[in-house]
Chain A
Amino acid sequence: MTLNRRTLLGTAAAGALPLVTPMRAPRAQAGNTIRIGVLTDLSSLYTDLAGQGSVLAARMAVEDFNPGAKGFNVDIVSADHQNKADVGSTTARTWYDRDGVDAIVDVPNSGVALAVNQITREKNKVMLVSAGATTALTGASCTPNTIHWTYDTFSQAAGTGRAMVAAGGDSWFFITADYAFGHALEADTEKFVTASGGRVLGKVRTPFPGTTDFSSFLLQAQSSRAKVIGLANAGGDFINCVKQAGEFGITRRGQKLAGLLVFITDVHGLGLQTAQGLTLTDAFYWDRNDGSRAFSEKFHPRNRGIRPTMAHAGVYASTLHYLKAVEAVGAEKAKADGAAVVAKMKELRTADPLFGEGEIRPDGRKLHPMFLYEVKAPNESRGPWDYYKLIREIPIADAWRPLAEGGCSLVRT
């Protein structure tokens, strides 16, 4: 046998290394072309909730804005960060230094978002976060170059966490994805639980990515006898948790699951039979009003039938608002000074068909109401993707972390 184990293992390790495919973007062009890079997960567990749909949402924003009529061009490029902070950082540097990218949008995965956040500031470019969740982006790590648009761990905790406690769920057990996002979501939710007199009976940190069997963690949650099992994870991790909790009869025995970050694509993946009755907090639902329905009708035929998630909506709206600010400061200045564009974005009021009118706070937090939904039972659903019923709207004052509490250095007290 000519093959020995050492060669096998070496090759296996090499195979597991990130497959960095350099983006072949055209060289930086004339001063009036704005280039937007969609940095997202194109190959793993966040692909459906962000991924290609985010690239499409950015394209649609450019189409609707029609930059040609306003005297500048806009290019969209995209890349897969594979949920690895190092891959994301390398792509961001290459984009900024070599490919003439002016703004990076979307960035699911808080770990990657935090890494790109620093690079964006260093290069004085712009980052518009939609699918990344950590509140650190508008707190300790806030920069004059970053806008956090769609949701954050605080808004999710404030919505679902508070609603569960109000409904009598005063003892909690957390199943937490073991990285920046899970930790932030768990911490924010825990604050709401203890502030309203509840208790946290235990928590377990699950390796990320790569955990597929959650039954062991679910049984630990079960034996804690907590009334609520808080799932501080997202995407495929969340789906597997809910599926396996159903299998082990955990919900039938009276414990409630709280999905702290749930996307409509997750509900679609679970099926209504399994997902019915879940309470969730969302910034955008395709069937909420005429604006969202019109957007969805244009979006889903171009996205393999997948309806837009709140991450997609955020990419669309943030790109649109960015382009308005670029128009206001002029494309040439916008390319040279990212902070100036972000300052203009904060100065202008936001207006788009998906989130309505709103504003951006000095710390970079975009403000809009959030919504508490319940997943419909199969017999209540009238058609494909008819999944949510509204419980109530969460007003801006309750949905977001108060400006003074974030510890952002841009906020003068």
Chain B
Amino acid sequence: MDTIFGVPAVALYGQLMLGLINGAFYALLSLGLAVIFGMMNVINFTHGAQFMMGAFVAWMLLEWLGLSYWWALLLAPLIVGATGVVIERLMISRLYRLDHLYGLLLTFGLALIIEGVFRNLFGSSGIPYRIPDQLQGAMDLGFMFLPNYRGWVIVASVVVCFGTWFVIERTKLGAYLRAATERPLLVQAFGVNVPRMITLTYGFGVALAAFAGVLAAPIYSVNPNMGSQLIIVVFAVVVIGGMGSIAGSIVTGFGLGLVEGLTKVFYPEGSATVIFVIMAIVLLLRPAGLFGRA
């Protein structure tokens, strides 16, 4: 059998595939952060908590209203996105004129509060959420046994990431958005309601986090800490990709998933650290990030 550095090539393909799946989550989450930062200059530390809320809302919809996974995929982002709109209107919008650090501290505090409330209500062991029947089972790819659900995660993530990139970079709506970031007063003078657009942008970024949360519910334990474990890594992804770069965050998300996957084979103990090592190197050599504009 072919081997690469002592690891059978076949096993390595399997691990790369898994890295890609984790990368799909990193990409979705860092995309939401990049949209919020790129359009509003707000560093949304509540992102992990909103990811967790997405998973919990999916569970509540199933348990309390009997709505299936597919409904949750549509409704959970809308519901959590709506809470995001409320948070933006009531709190974040008051901080635009202050230093960005205030926004960061506010959202960090909110994350701690939200996680604390969920921990009080649901405990920390998590709650079960079944994989939907249509995606049960697995396919044999020859080099690995790929659960259908994980395949679906990659597809869903790529579609949503591409769609978001396309809207922001290639449509008129996206052009308004980018213009509003650069010259809000001028855009307002053309009759565009800039504050509302900003509010909806935040809601959309939050909805992306919730969407990732619903995707994660059947494979990770649905528990109040699921977001905080992921969010620090995702911030590193955003920094490596270049703050606010949409395409950068997507490519970096998938790429770092792959790097992490390889680390899990060759040096598992380092798999939680490797992304931060890369972050340090990137900051030294290209302080604006791989895709950022200095």
Q: Do A and B bind each other?
A: yes
| Chain A residues within 8 Å of B, Cβ to Cβ | 1-3, 5, 7-9, 11-12, 15-16, 19, 43-49, 51, 178, 204-207, 209-213, 215-217, 219-220, 223, 235-236, 239-240, 243-244, 247-249, 265-266, 268-271, 273-274, 304, 306
B131 touching A2, Cβ below 8 Å? no
Q: How far is the CA of A271 from the CA of B131 in the complex (A)?
A: 13
Q: How far is the CA of A243 from the CA of B116 in the complex (A)?
A: 25
Interface stretch of the complex, out of B142-150, B154-162, B188-196, B246-254: B142-150
Beta-carbon contacts under 8 Å, B97-141 to A: 99-101, 104-105, 108, 112, 116, 119, 123-128, 130-131, 138
Contact status of A304 and B119, CB under 8 A, knowing A207-B273, A269-B221 = no
Q: Which of A2, A12, A178, A219 contacts B15 (CB 8 A)?
A: A219
Closest partner residue, chain B, to A266 (CB atom): B125
Q: Chain A residues near B150: list those with CB within 8 A.
A: 215, 247
Interface stretch of the complex, out of B67-75, B79-87, B200-208, B262-270: B262-270
B264 touching A216, Cβ below 8 Å? yes
Q: Which of B104, B125, B273, B287 contacts A268 (CB 8 A)?
A: B125
Q: How far is the CA of A273 from the CA of B136 in the complex (A)?
A: 14
Q: 18 A-B residue contacts at CB 8 Å?
A: A2-B100, A7-B100, A8-B43, A8-B239, A45-B124, A49-B125, A207-B271, A212-B221, A212-B230, A216-B261, A217-B264, A236-B124, A239-B126, A240-B220, A244-B219, A247-B131, A248-B145, A271-B128
The 9 closest A-B pairs by CB, nearest first: A207-B272, A271-B128, A47-B124, A269-B125, A3-B100, A216-B264, A48-B125, A48-B123, A269-B126
Contact string, B261-294, partner A, CB cutoff 8 A, digits 1/0?
1001100111111000000000100010000000
Q: How far is the CA of A43 from the CA of B145 in the complex (A)?
A: 36
B128 touching A178, Cβ below 8 Å? no
Contact string, B7-50, partner A, CB cutoff 8 A, digits 1/0?
01001001100110110000000000000000001010100000
B125 touching A3, Cβ below 8 Å? no
Question: Which of under 10, 10 to 19, 20 to 34, or 35 or more describes the interface residues of B?
Answer: 35 or more
- Closest Cβ of chain A to B213, distance in Å, is 13
Which of B43, B225, B226 counts the most chain A CB atoms within 10 A?
A: B225
- Closest Cβ of chain B to A240, distance in Å, is 5
Q: How far is the CA of A222 from the CA of B251 in the complex (A)?
A: 30
Q: How far is the CA of A46 from the CA of B225 in the complex (A)?
A: 11
B232 interface residue per 8 A CB criterion: yes
Q: How far is the CA of A266 from the CA of B221 in the complex (A)?
A: 10
- Closest Cβ of chain A to B72, distance in Å, is 18
A216 touching B125, Cβ below 8 Å? no
B123 touching A220, Cβ below 8 Å? no
Extra pairs beyond A247-B147, A269-B128 (5, CB < 8 Å): A43-B116, A205-B269, A212-B221, A215-B150, A219-B15
A236 touching B104, Cβ below 8 Å? no
B144 touching A219, Cβ below 8 Å? yes
A44 touching B124, Cβ below 8 Å? yes
Q: Chain A residues near B21: list those with CB within 8 A.
A: 215
Q: How far is the CA of A206 from the CA of B260 in the complex (A)?
A: 13
Contact status of A240 and B131, CB under 8 A, knowing A3-B43, A11-B101 = no
Q: Chain A residues near B3: list those with CB within 8 A.
A: none
| Chain B residues within 8 Å of A, Cβ to Cβ | 8, 11, 14-15, 18-19, 21-22, 41, 43, 45, 99-101, 104-105, 108, 112, 116, 119, 123-128, 130-131, 138, 144-145, 147, 149-150, 219-221, 223, 225-226, 229-230, 232, 235, 239, 243, 261, 264-265, 268-273, 283, 287
Which of A7, A216, A219, A249 counts the most chain B CB atoms within 10 A?
A: A216
Q: Which of A236, A248, A273 contacts B125 (CB 8 A)?
A: A236
Q: How far is the CA of A235 from the CA of B272 in the complex (A)?
A: 19
Closest partner residue, chain A, to B292 (CB atom): A5
Q: Which of A7, A9, A16, A47 contacts B123 (CB 8 A)?
A: A47
- Closest Cβ of chain A to B7, distance in Å, is 9
Closest partner residue, chain B, to A4 (CB atom): B287
Q: Chain A residues near B18: list those with CB within 8 A.
A: 213, 215-216, 219
B125 touching A5, Cβ below 8 Å? no
Closest partner residue, chain A, to B136 (CB atom): A247
Q: How far is the CA of A216 from the CA of B287 in the complex (A)?
A: 32
B124 touching A51, Cβ below 8 Å? yes
Closest partner residue, chain A, to B272 (CB atom): A207
- Closest Cβ of chain B to A412, distance in Å, is 40
A223 touching B126, Cβ below 8 Å? no
Q: How far is the CA of A329 from the CA of B116 in the complex (A)?
A: 42
Closest partner residue, chain B, to A41 (CB atom): B124
Q: Which of B99, B147, B229, B283 contacts A5 (CB 8 A)?
A: B283
Q: How far is the CA of A223 from the CA of B226 in the complex (A)?
A: 28
Q: Chain A residues near B116: list those with CB within 8 A.
A: 43
- Closest Cβ of chain A to B217, distance in Å, is 11
Q: Chain A residues near B226: list those with CB within 8 A.
A: 212
Q: Which of B19, B41, B270 contacts A3 (CB 8 A)?
A: B41
Q: How far is the CA of A216 from the CA of B272 in the complex (A)?
A: 13
Q: How far is the CA of A50 from the CA of B29 in the complex (A)?
A: 32
Closest partner residue, chain B, to A206 (CB atom): B268
Q: How far is the CA of A215 from the CA of B226 in the complex (A)?
A: 16
A2 touching B99, Cβ below 8 Å? yes
Q: Chain B residues near A213: list those with CB within 8 A.
A: 18, 22, 220
Closest partner residue, chain A, to B269 (CB atom): A205
A269 touching B220, Cβ below 8 Å? no
Q: How far is the CA of A99 from the CA of B11 in the complex (A)?
A: 56
Q: How far is the CA of A213 from the CA of B225 in the complex (A)?
A: 14
Which of A45, A215, A217, A243 counts the most chain B CB atoms within 10 A?
A: A215
- Closest Cβ of chain B to A363, distance in Å, is 32
Q: How far is the CA of A16 from the CA of B45 in the complex (A)?
A: 12
Closest partner residue, chain A, to B137 (CB atom): A249
Q: How far is the CA of A182 from the CA of B272 in the complex (A)?
A: 17
B14 touching A219, Cβ below 8 Å? yes
B221 touching A239, Cβ below 8 Å? yes
Q: How far is the CA of A119 from the CA of B235 in the complex (A)?
A: 37
- Closest Cβ of chain B to A36, distance in Å, is 23
Q: Chain B residues near A49: list those with CB within 8 A.
A: 125
Which of B15, B101, B126, B149 counts the most chain A CB atoms within 10 A?
A: B126
